[in-house]
Each structure stands twice: as structure tokens, then as C-alpha cells.
């Protein structure tokens, strides 16, 4: 008879305190420290097979990351975290839609993640495309207008208030809007925030340095 992974684990494996039983600030500190290692090319995550059997029993991510789908942005690498550490939701333009919100709500309510980061990045193509649509009246095919609609409010603010560098300003504003939308998301996320059990922050990834700054 072949036993499952859970049956082969010692009883102590189920009694340990989950890694995400920490404060939101502690989770954020862990991400910041991990990004510093990544930027310095000194990652600690090298053996991805370690802990595989234990992870098969369940997951306890320390943070949920709403990231852009850009192929140059890899949150687990950028924060020097291993499998099971981050619950990542990705969509071009890192905006909040219903599907992404539901996934994040699951990570917070049922997996116990104490932190959410909306992670944008410099030179975001989705934001740049939205600028061209709004400013130059460009028409995009297929379902791309759905993406444009979600990012458009951030671009409009940037065009109004930051005409010197619209793209950079729109990227930051898009992250800020995402943070605000998640903080106000009833009934799950807003309740956790009010109770002090959840923090929602914004981050900006620099493609050339690998460094992530808080917004």
C-alpha cells in the first residue's frame, strides 16, 4: 500500500505554527529583506525541492501579490521567496478586477495571508497602451479595451497632473488606485484592514536594478 505524502509526515508537522502567523509589518519586512538579497544577487532560495512533501499538505503564504503579467517581473524571484511563500495574482496592468479580487479574498480569509502588495513596474506596456488610447485616440482590437477601461482612471489623473512624465506618473497612480480599491473591498478585505489583521501596500519594481520601492 502506498501512503500519501500527509501520512508519511510526522505528527509534529501538523502542530507547527504556520509561517504566516505573523503581523502584516513582519510580512512586509520579510519581502523587503528578500528583495534586497535579490537586487544584490545573493538569493537564499536555491533548493526548490526542500519542503515539497510538507507543502503538499497545505499552504500558508505570507503575502498576496497583485502583479503585472509582464514576463520580466517574477514576484517569487524578486522577493527571494520559495514555493508556498507568496500567493500571486497576475494580470497585465496589475489592476483589480472581480476575478483577481476573489482570488485575493481567498488568500486572506482562508489561507491567512496578512499582507497584500499591488506590484507595478517601470515602463509598463499596459499602462503605456492606455495612454495612447486616451491621448491619441488609438483603437485596440479584441478584449484589450476591457484592460484599457480598468487602467484609464490612473492615466487620466497623470495626464491632468503630471504632463512632464505621464507614463511614470500613471504607473504609480495605477498602483495607488489598486491599493485603495482593495482597502475598500467589502466585506472581506475592508474588515480585515479595520481589525489590523491585514495591510495593503503598493510597490514599484525597477526592471533595470531589480529593486522594489514602496509607494
| Nearest alpha carbon to residue 34 among 25, 46, 23, 45 | 45
| Nearest alpha carbon to residue 171 among 207, 197, 210, 209 | 207
Beta strands in 26-90 (DSSP E): 63-67, 86-90
pTM of the predicted structure, to 2 decimals: 0.90
CB atoms within 10 A of CB 143: 8
What pLDDT score was predicted for residue 46? 74
For residues 59 and 82, the answer to whether their CB atoms sit within 8 Å is no
CB atoms within 10 A of CB 55: 15
Give the separation between CA 80 and CA 27, rounded to whole angstroms.
13
Instruction: For residue 32, give the C-alpha cell.
Output: 523587503
Give the separation between CA 90 and CA 109, rounded to whole angstroms.
19
Superfamily, domain 20-42+56-214? Carbonic anhydrase (3.40.1050.10)
What pLDDT score was predicted for residue 5? 42
- Sketch the domain layout of the chain as residue ranges: 20-42+56-214
Tens place of pLDDT per residue across the chain (215 aa): 344 444 444 444 445 899 999 999 999 999 999 999 999 999 997 777 777 878 888 899 999 999 999 999 999 999 999 999 999 999 999 999 999 999 999 999 999 999 999 999 999 999 999 999 999 999 999 999 999 999 999 999 999 998 889 999 999 999 999 999 999 999 999 999 999 999 999 999 999 999 999 99
Q: Which residue has 491621448 as its cell numbers?
A: 135
Start-end of H helices in 62-110: 75-78, 98-109
CB atoms within 10 A of CB 84: 19
Q: Is 68 exposed, middle or buried (0-12, 13-18, 19+ CB in 10 A)?
A: buried
Give the separation between CA 179 and CA 214, rounded to whole angstroms.
12
What pLDDT score was predicted for residue 52? 81
Amino acid at each position: 500500500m502506498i501512503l500519501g505524502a500527509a501520512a508519511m509526515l510526522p505528527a509534529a508537522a501538523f502542530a507547527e505554527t504556520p509561517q504566516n502567523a505573523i503581523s502584516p509589518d513582519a510580512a512586509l519586512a520579510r519581502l523587503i529583506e528578500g528583495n534586497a538579497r535579490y537586487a544584490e544577487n545573493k538569493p537564499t532560495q536555491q533548493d526548490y525541492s526542500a519542503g515539497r512533501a510538507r507543502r503538499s499538505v497545505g499552504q500558508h503564504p505570507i503575502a498576496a501579490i497583485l502583479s503585472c503579467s509582464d514576463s520580466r517581473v517574477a514576484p517569487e524571484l524578486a522577493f527571494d521567496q520559495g514555493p508556498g511563500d507568496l500567493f500571486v495574482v497576475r494580470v497585465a496592468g496589475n489592476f483589480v478586477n472581480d476575478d483577481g479580487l476573489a482570488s485575493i479574498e481567498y488568500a486572506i480569509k482562508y489561507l491567512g495571508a496578512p499582507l497584500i502588495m499591488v506590484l507595478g513596474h517601470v515602463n509598463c506596456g499596459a499602462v503605456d497602451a492606455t495612454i495612447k488610447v486616451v491621448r491619441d485616440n488609438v483603437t485596440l482590437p479584441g478584449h484589450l479595451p476591457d484592460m484599457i477601461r480598468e487602467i484609464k482612471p490612473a492615466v487620466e489623473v497623470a495626464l491632468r497632473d503630471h504632463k512632464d512624465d505621464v507614463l511614470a506618473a500613471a504607473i504609480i497612480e495605477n498602483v495607488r488606485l489598486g491599493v485603495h480599491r482593495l482597502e475598500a473591498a467589502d466585506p472581506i478585505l475592508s474588515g480585515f484592514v479595520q481589525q489590523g489583521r491585514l495591510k495593503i501596500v503598493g510597490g514599484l519594481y525597477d526592471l533595470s536594478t531589480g529593486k522594489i520601492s514602496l509607494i
